[in-house]
Structure 1
Amino acid sequence: MKKIGLLPKLILAIIIGIGVGMLGMEVPIRLLATFNGIFGNFLKFSIPLIIIGFVAPGIGDLGTGAGKLLGITTAIAYISTVLAGSFTYFVNTAVFKMILKTGSMLETADNPEHALLSGYLTINMPPIMDVMTALLMAFILGIGIAIVKGHAIKDVMNEFQKVVEGIIRNIIIPFLPLHIAGIFANMTYAGQVATILTVFSKVFAVIILLHITILLILYFIAGGMAGANPIRLLKTMLPAYFTAIGTQSSAATIPVTLNQTKENGVNTGIAEFVVPLCATIHLSGSTITLVSCAMAIMMLNGMSITFGTMFGFILMLGVTMVAAPGVPGGAVMAALGIIETMLGFPPTLTSIMIALYLAQDSFGTACNVTGDGAIAIIVNKIAGFKLEKNSKEFFDNI
Structure 2
Amino acid sequence: METDPEKNATNTTRVSSPSDVEATRAEKKLWWHSITVMGSTFQIIIAAVLGIAIGVAVSTTVDEVPEACITILEIPGELWLRGLKASVLPLIATAMIIAVQRLKEETAGAGKKLGIYTVSYYVLTTILAIAHSTVMTALVWAPRMPTASREALALDGDDDEEYADRAANTNVADVVVQIFESFVPANVVEALSENELLAVLTTAVVVGFLVQPGGAVLRAVVEVEQIIMRIITFLIKIAPLGVFFLIMPNLLKLDIAVIAESLGWLIAGSLTGMAIHVTVVTPLIYFAFTRRNPYSFFLKCSPAWVTAWGTASSAATMPVTLRVAEARGVPETVRRFAIPLGTLVNMDGTAIYFPVVVTFLAETQGQTLDAGQYVLIVLLSTLSSIATTPIPSSSLVLTVMIANSVGIEMTGMYGVVVAIDWFLDRFRTAINVVGDLYACKVIEKLTGITEEGDLSSPHVDQEGRRE
Name the TM tier (shorter chain).
0.5 to 0.7
Deviation, 1:226, is 1.4
Corresponding position of 1:198: 261
Specify which of 194, 208, 214 is matched with residue 277 of structure 2. Answer: 214
Corresponding position of 2:440: 376
Corresponding position of 1:80: 125
Deviations 1:181-202 (A, max 9, x none): 9xx9xxxxxxxx9886434234
Specify which of 315, 330, 344 is matched with residue 408 of structure 2. Answer: 344
Structure 1: unaligned runs, 5 residues or longer: 18-60, 146-150, 164-176, 185-192
Deviation, 1:288, is 1.5
Q: Structure 1 259/278 Cα, relative in aligned 2: closer, same or farther at 3 Å?
A: same
Deviation, 1:125, is 11
User: Counterparts of 2:382 and 2:162 in 1: how far apart (Å)?
Assistant: 33
Read off the aligned partner of 2:396 and give its amino acid letter.
V
Read off the aligned partner of 2:140 and give its amino acid letter.
V
DSSP-derived class of the 1:322 partner: helix
TM-score (norm 1): 0.63
- The answer as to whether partners of 1:244 and 1:250 remain within 8 angstroms in 2 is yes
Deviation, 1:279, is 0.7
Specify which of 301, 304, 310 is matched with residue 365 of structure 2. Answer: 301
Corresponding position of 2:134: 89
- The answer as to whether partners of 1:236 and 1:263 remain within 8 angstroms in 2 is no
- The answer as to whether partners of 2:130 and 2:382 remain within 8 angstroms in 1 is no
Deviation, 1:219, is 2.1
User: Counterparts of 2:371 and 2:321 in 1: how far apart (Å)?
Assistant: 34
- The answer as to whether partners of 1:250 and 1:279 remain within 8 angstroms in 2 is yes
User: Counterparts of 1:195 and 1:364 in 2: how far apart (Å)?
Assistant: 21
TM-score (norm 2): 0.54
Deviations 1:300-331 (A, max 9, x none): 22223234323333333333343645899733
Corresponding position of 1:364: 428
Percent identity between matched residues is: 18
User: Counterparts of 1:354 and 1:361 in 2: how far apart (Å)?
Assistant: 11
User: Counterparts of 1:279 and 1:113 in 2: how far apart (Å)?
Assistant: 36
Deviations 1:326-364 (A, max 9, x none): 899733344433333345231534323323432211011
Corresponding position of 1:285: 349
| Corresponding position: 1:252 with 2:316 | yes
Read off the aligned partner of 2:177 and give its amino acid letter.
M
Deviation, 1:161, is 5.7
User: Counterparts of 2:320 and 2:195 in 1: how far apart (Å)?
Assistant: 24
DSSP-derived class of the 1:265 partner: coil
User: Counterparts of 1:247 and 1:329 in 2: how far apart (Å)?
Assistant: 16
Aligned residues: CA RMSD: 4.4
- The answer as to whether partners of 1:240 and 1:256 remain within 8 angstroms in 2 is yes
Read off the aligned partner of 1:198 and give its amino acid letter.
E
Q: Structure 1 326/226 Cα, relative in aligned 2: closer, same or farther at 3 Å?
A: farther
Corresponding position of 2:330: 266
Q: Structure 1 247/136 Cα, relative in aligned 2: closer, same or farther at 3 Å?
A: closer
User: Counterparts of 1:329 and 1:123 in 2: how far apart (Å)?
Assistant: 13
Read off the aligned partner of 2:417 and give its amino acid letter.
M
Read off the aligned partner of 1:272 and give its amino acid letter.
R
Deviations 1:10-34 (A, max 9, x none): x98xx999xxxxxxxxxxxxxxxxx
Deviation, 1:210, is 2.3
Larger-Rg structure: 2
Specify which of 178, 199, 221 is matched with residue 138 of structure 1. Answer: 178
Deviation, 1:133, is 4.2
Any residues of structure 2 matched to 1:1-398 within 5 Å, and which? 66-96=111-141, 100-103=144-147, 105=148, 108-109=149-150, 113=153, 130-139=170-179, 141-142=181-182, 145=184, 152-156=186-190, 159=193, 197-216=260-279, 217-322=281-386, 324-325=388-389, 330-342=394-406, 344-385=408-449, 388-392=459-463
Deviation, 1:261, is 2.1
User: Counterparts of 1:297 and 1:159 in 2: how far apart (Å)?
Assistant: 37
Read off the aligned partner of 2:338 and give its amino acid letter.
V
Q: Which moved more, 1:124-133 or 1:253-262?
A: 124-133
* Alignment size in residue pairs: 306
Q: Find runs of 4+ consecutive structure 1 residues off by over 6 angstroms.
A: 122-129, 193-196, 326-329
Q: Structure 1 239/123 Cα, relative in aligned 2: closer, same or farther at 3 Å?
A: closer
Structure 2: unaligned runs, 5 residues or longer: 1-50, 65-95, 101-110, 198-249, 451-457
Q: Structure 1 123/369 Cα, relative in aligned 2: closer, same or farther at 3 Å?
A: closer
DSSP-derived class of the 1:346 partner: coil
Deviation, 1:138, is 2.0
Deviation, 1:380, is 1.2
- The answer as to whether partners of 1:280 and 1:325 remain within 8 angstroms in 2 is yes
User: Counterparts of 1:96 and 1:161 in 2: how far apart (Å)?
Assistant: 38
- The answer as to whether partners of 1:329 and 1:358 remain within 8 angstroms in 2 is no
User: Counterparts of 1:235 and 1:124 in 2: how far apart (Å)?
Assistant: 40
